[in-house]
Amino acid sequence: MRETAPAPATEESLPPQPTGEVCAASEDVEGEPPSSPEEASVGDADGADAEGTDTAETDTAEEEPEGRLGAGAELDDDELVRRVAALLFASPEPLSLGRLVKLLQRPERARVRSALETLGARLSGAGLPIEVRGLRGGYTLLTTSDVGPVVGRLAKGSPVERISAAALETLSIVAYRQPVTKAEIEAIRGVQAGPILRALVDRGLVKVTGRADVPGHPLEYGTTPEFLERFGLMSLDDLPRDAELARG
């Protein structure tokens, strides 16, 4: 069972990577453009993002046509909730609504959505430190934040790598302005961004999404599914907006 990811802060703990410090790289990130955006992407440890695939894209392709029901439509509500719980528990990755519908043999999508809500309410009502969370475009089971210190003991002694304030600032620009070029990032920050961009790509938080339709066709950058997971976001729509940041 995974622990709920904390909200972004000035400094965040990140899992260790084989790369050096964020600002240690000296070569420009656009020095040797890849033959395709997918080849430049660095995603999860299993290489899913490097192949240009992610949870949301895969699940969208597997969604069943609306109105086409299967054997799952015969399940009663309680059994549907039980099966949803089993799938979320057993899956190492978040499952989208479309993927759940397919795995449950095509009951009504509205019933699956209702089953997710019911499961979340039952877990909360039972006082269990587990919740249904939207993450990376899908749903999963995570431990609640109040037991974070306890669960954190499982990783006690593991090396901790932190993201610098400069890297976090660059990552924020990419997240809010994507797709964005290196030159646009440098215009906002006022400093050279190549080494930090490369470090963020190496860590799987940023990837090349294409080329800008301007002279020179510079590379454009965007965030990865790993970024959503690290910061506990269902989608980019969950990023704090201006009004929320002002209140904070």
Tens of pLDDT, residue by residue over 178-231, are: 999 999 999 999 999 999 999 999 999 999 999 999 999 999 999 999 999 888
pTM to 2 decimals? 0.59
Domain spanning 2-51+158-247 has what CATH number?
Answer: 1.10.10.10
CB 132 within 8 A of CB 88: yes
Does residue 3 carry a pLDDT above 80? no
Does residue 48 carry a pLDDT above 80? no
Amino acid 146: pLDDT: 93
Does residue 45 carry a pLDDT above 90? no
How many other C-beta atoms can be found within 10 angstroms of the C-beta atom of residue 186? 16
Amino acid 162: pLDDT: 81
Out of 3.50.50.100, 1.10.10.10, 2.40.50.100, 3.40.50.300, the CATH code matching 56-135 is: 1.10.10.10
Domain with CATH 1.10.10.10 in the chain: 2-51+158-247, 56-135
Q: Kind of pairing, strands 180-181 and 206-211?
A: unpaired
From residue 49, alpha-carbon distances to 17, 69, 145, 174, 239 in Å are 16, 32, 28, 17, 21
Contacts of 204 (CB under 8 A, 6+ apart): 17, 42, 43, 44, 49, 224, 226, 227
Lowest average pLDDT, out of 5-19, 77-91, 95-109, 176-190, goes to 5-19
Task: Please compute the mean of the pLDDT values over residues 29-49 and round it to a whole number.
Answer: 39
Over the stretch 151-178, which tens digit does the pLDDT of each residue have? 988 877 666 668 899 999 999 999 999 9
Contacts of 85 (CB under 8 A, 6+ apart): 119, 141
